[in-house]
């Protein structure tokens, strides 16, 4: 059965429309400049993540002043996050001491200092109360923030950063126990995105300060 002339004409028109529409789409894609991702300088590669990761607002913690600490507290500032616990015999006091030196370097530029923060996240809420955290972080720098919360909430944040920790089931005669945890500093940008990581081998305060200032000058205007 032959196709009616009108229907045949409509079929041809549909094909033409599809072809012309596709051609216009290709031309527009070629004509409109695509946004380019910021180029990471060689000296920042391996520290700045190749792809930033947007943090999910799933965690609800408490700071050392008993105020809520959530994703909104990690926005509009550069945030250095460190996971540990106040009973830590070595890693925590060492890293926080170095962080205090780092912030003394940053203090030379008031604008950068005021737009940066160090957040110490205790993964040992069984022993670390907001009150004890406040005293602990103030020993290193009065502007540092201590944070803790229920284990479920802590893990909602730590997992997003791949910050590993484990509470030892073994206790000594005084009931004390160790907590094994990452010794890295995690950098969150003002958009609340996981932006960079400073590993133990990069933990020299002077080196971190220089690297962070390079990050700030390279990417700071993008937020």
| Residue 220 pLDDT | 74
| Residue 18 pLDDT | 39
Structure tokens at 93: 């006091």
| Residue 221 pLDDT | 64
Is the pLDDT score of 71 beyond 50?
Answer: yes
Structure tokens at 75: 């926005």
Name the pLDDT band for 38 (thresholds 50, 70, 90): low
**Average pLDDT over the chain, rounded to whole?**
85
Is the pLDDT score of 2 beyond 80?
Answer: no
Query: Edge-to-edge strand order for the sheet containing 68-69?
Result: 48-54, 193-198, 185-188, 78-84, 116-122, 145-148, 61-63, 68-69
Q: What's the DSSP call for residue 45?
A: B
């Amino acid at each position: 059965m032959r196709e009616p002339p009108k229907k045949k004409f409509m079929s041809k028109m549909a094909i033409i429309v599809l072809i012309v529409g596709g051609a216009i789409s290709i031309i527009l894609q070629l004509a409109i400049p695509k946004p380019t991702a910021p180029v990471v300088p060689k000296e920042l590669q391996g520290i700045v993540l190749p792809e930033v990761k947007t943090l999910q607002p799933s965690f609800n913690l408490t700071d050392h002043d008993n105020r809520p600490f959530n994703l909104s507290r990690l926005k509009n500032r550069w945030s250095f996050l460190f996971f540990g616990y106040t009973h830590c015999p070595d890693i925590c006091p060492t890293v926080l001491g170095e962080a205090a030196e780092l912030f003394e370097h940053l203090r030379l530029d008031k604008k950068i200092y005021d737009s940066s923060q160090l957040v110490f996240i205790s993964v040992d809420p069984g022993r670390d109360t907001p009150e004890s955290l406040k005293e602990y972080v103030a020993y290193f720098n009065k502007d540092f923030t201590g944070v803790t919360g229920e284990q479920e909430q802590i893990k909602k944040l730590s997992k997003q950063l791949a910050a590993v920790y484990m509470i030892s089931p073994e206790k000594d005669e005084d009931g004390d126990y160790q907590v094994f945890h990452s010794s890295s500093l995690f950098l969150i940008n003002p958009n609340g995105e996981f932006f960079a990581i400073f590993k133990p081998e990069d933990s020299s305060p002077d080196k971190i300060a220089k690297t962070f200032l390079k990050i700030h000058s390279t990417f700071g205007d993008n937020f």
